[in-house]
Amino acid sequence: MNHPIQCSLENTARITKLLSISSENRNQEWQSEFFAYLPNACFMAGDPQVTHGPDGFPYFELYYTPPGYSGNYYCIESILDTVLSQGLGISIHRQKGSAEWVFTYGDLLNYKLTQYFYQLPDIDPSPDYI
């Protein structure tokens, strides 16, 4: 039985706090927390919902939800199949014009297949032939 995917306001608060940390202070622990809370964090859709990034590819725009927001919530888990079927990436914004984080179509496909946004290949660093 399929259950509707729930977006989490608690995860949203954690993501907002994590993104307030300057990029030079973001380490492996920061990245692990960010990717753990992100899939079910609540966002609102941009208007328009889909735009083209500087790379020319289409992205579904997600924005932070302001306090007291009562509209529709979107989380990556709830829109993943739709954006993949339409060949879209996802961009996450605090405000119009500047993305806080961008996931390409390939990043999202990797997440769908592995449950990891980014994953190092499982390759033996010292193969027998060296």
How many domains does one find in the chain? 1
The answer to whether residue 81 sits within a structural domain is: yes
Pairing state of beta strands 89-95 and 58-63? parallel
The answer to whether residue 126 sits within a structural domain is: no
* pLDDT tens for the chain, residues 1 to 130: 344 568 898 999 999 899 889 989 999 899 889 999 999 999 999 999 999 999 999 999 999 888 788 889 899 999 999 999 999 999 998 877 788 899 999 999 999 998 888 765 555 555 554 4
The answer to whether residue 35 sits within a structural domain is: yes
pTM exceeds cut of 0.85: no
The answer to whether residue 56 sits within a structural domain is: yes
The answer to whether residue 50 sits within a structural domain is: yes
Alpha carbon distance 101, 95 (integer Å) = 12
Which pLDDT score is estimated for 6? 82
Residue 3 φ then ψ, to 5°: -110, 145
DSSP string, 64-109: PPPTT--S--B-HHHHHHHHHHTT-EEEEEEETTEEEEEE-HHHHH
Which pLDDT score is estimated for 126? 55
For 102, how many CA atoms within 13 A lie in the half-sphere containing its CB? 13
Where b means 16+ CB within 10 Å and e means fewer, 73-105 reads bbbbbbbbeebeeeebbbbbbeeeeebbebbbb
Which pLDDT score is estimated for 121? 52
Which pLDDT score is estimated for 69? 85
